[in-house]
Structure formats: C-alpha cells, structure tokens
Amino acid sequence: MSNLKGKTLFITGASRGIGLAIAKRAARDGANIAIAAKTVDPHPKLEGTIHTAAAEIRAAGGEALPLTVDVREEDQVRAAIAKTVETFGGIDVLVNNASAIQLTGTLSTDMRRYDLMHQINTRGTFLCSKLAVPHLKKAVNPHVLNLSPPLNMETRWFSPHVAYTMAKFGMSMCVLGMAEEFADDGIAFNALWPRTAIATAAVSMLGGDAMVRASRKPEIMADAAYLILTKPSRGFTGNFCIDDEVLTAAGVIDLDQYAVDPSAQLAPDFFI
C-alpha cells in the first residue's frame, strides 16, 4: 500500500468535523491539503475556521493552503483549484465532503433550504469534480471520494426527508456515473458513508449530547478514507463503502477505539 506523502488533497468543508479529520490523517504522511471551506472568522455556534484547520494540519505534519470557498460559487471553486495547482503543482485527490442537511418532510421544507441542500451537496460535488478532473488526469494515482451513502432506493430512506435524501443521493449518483466515465483515465470515484452517527457539529445540533455519546469519532471516517485513497485507483473505483467494513477488511479489530463513549449503544446513521 502506498501513502500520501507529497500528495495534494483538495478537501471541501475541511475546516471542521470529518473533512478536517481526513485532512489531518493525510497530513501525518506529509501531504499537502487545500482547505476549501467558507468559515474564515470564528462562528458563534461552530468550532473551527480555515485558519485553525491549517494550523492543525501543519502540526500534524502536512502543508496547508486555507482557501475561502463556497462550493455554490463556480468562480470561487475555479479560483481555489487554480491556486492549489499553482501552490502545490497539481491535485492528486478530491474529497467532496461539504454538505447541508435538514431532516424535514415535504410540506415543512422551505424551498430556500431545498435549494441550499441541492446546491451544496449535488451541484457542489458535480462542480468540484468537473473542475478537478483535468488536473486529476495528470496525477499518478488520482482519487475522488464523495462523503455520500449507498444508493438504496427503499421508501423508508425517502419519505421522512425526501429533499435531503435526493441531495445526498445526487452525490452518490456522481460516483456511479463518473467512475465509468473516467475509468479510462484511471481516476477512481468512490463513496464513503458511516455505519453510525459521527460526533460532528451537525450531529450535536440535531441530537444534542445524548446523540454525541452514541456516536463514533470522526477519526473512523478519516482512517477509512485513508485506506481508500491509498489503493490503486485503476483497481478500486465505483464502490459505495461503509467505514467499519473498510477497516475490518484491512484487519482493524478494535472499533471501540472510535466510540465517543464505549459503554453507550451506538446510533445507526441514515441509509444503512
């Protein structure tokens, strides 16, 4: 298995949570991380900015490029990718992590929130992929990893929050289509999703302290992502991966290390 030393990762939403955890795991190898996120100044309710993330990435052993990016804005994404290539000489990995969530039914979903979820989740993923591919084609082992679920067309995953499900499944449909579209270029497109709730700011706001205690740490997603991103891209593409399955397949036995509270009953995530 290779490592990520000297590789350049462009990670959306990397100022906190799972995106930052993936960045820090790659940084341990000496990777270059472009932090593409919106939070420049401290948020009253959310920890982390692109600058605090950059400091953590450098402390972990990597190089960091903090970039102010709203993935809904094509000009910002285009400029950020250009700056990444100018700074580090190319892009080896794209991680589409940025996401918006609202778990409401049809009648309770404001169209502005509907648009936000689709613009960030589906459109943002498509846009970042579209603009990164020309550079990924030049990389030795190029990967795109979308933080999105397996395409499970059961009614139970749609009816409680159809707008959110559509937006997340749109990210997964990018994997399904682009894996085949760019197979001859050797670019891997895969999805990664957690078995359980992950202790992020979003989970805390949705479920409070009780949900956080029933969650796993973001590091389980980071370690699973690392295993995917270090696989040969031509031999591993078009897959919908679950975090603990990736780890156990690699011989990781102790999953309790990832639990926020090992004594708590783990809360399952959506779509599994």
Is residue 164 flagged as an active site residue?
yes
Of 204, 219, 224, 222, the closest CA to residue 267 belongs to 204
Burial class (CB in 10 A: 0-12, 13-18, 19+), 106: exposed
The phi, psi pair for 97, rounded to 5°, reads -110, -30
Q: Which of 114, 164, 226, 258 is flagged as catalytic?
A: 164
Burial class (CB in 10 A: 0-12, 13-18, 19+), 45: exposed
Residues 6+ positions from 42 with CB-CB distance below 8 Å: 49
Residues listed for the chain: 272
Distance of CA 144 to the CA centre of its chain: 10
- Ordered DSSP codes for 154-206: -GGGTTT-HHHHHHHHHHHHHHHHHHHHTGGGT-EEEEEE-SB-B-SHHHHHH
DSSP-H helix ranges across the chain: 17-27, 50-60, 74-88, 111-117, 124-136, 162-181, 201-213, 219-229, 243-249
Amino acid at 223: D
Under DSSP, the state recorded for 256 is G
Catalytically annotated residues:
164
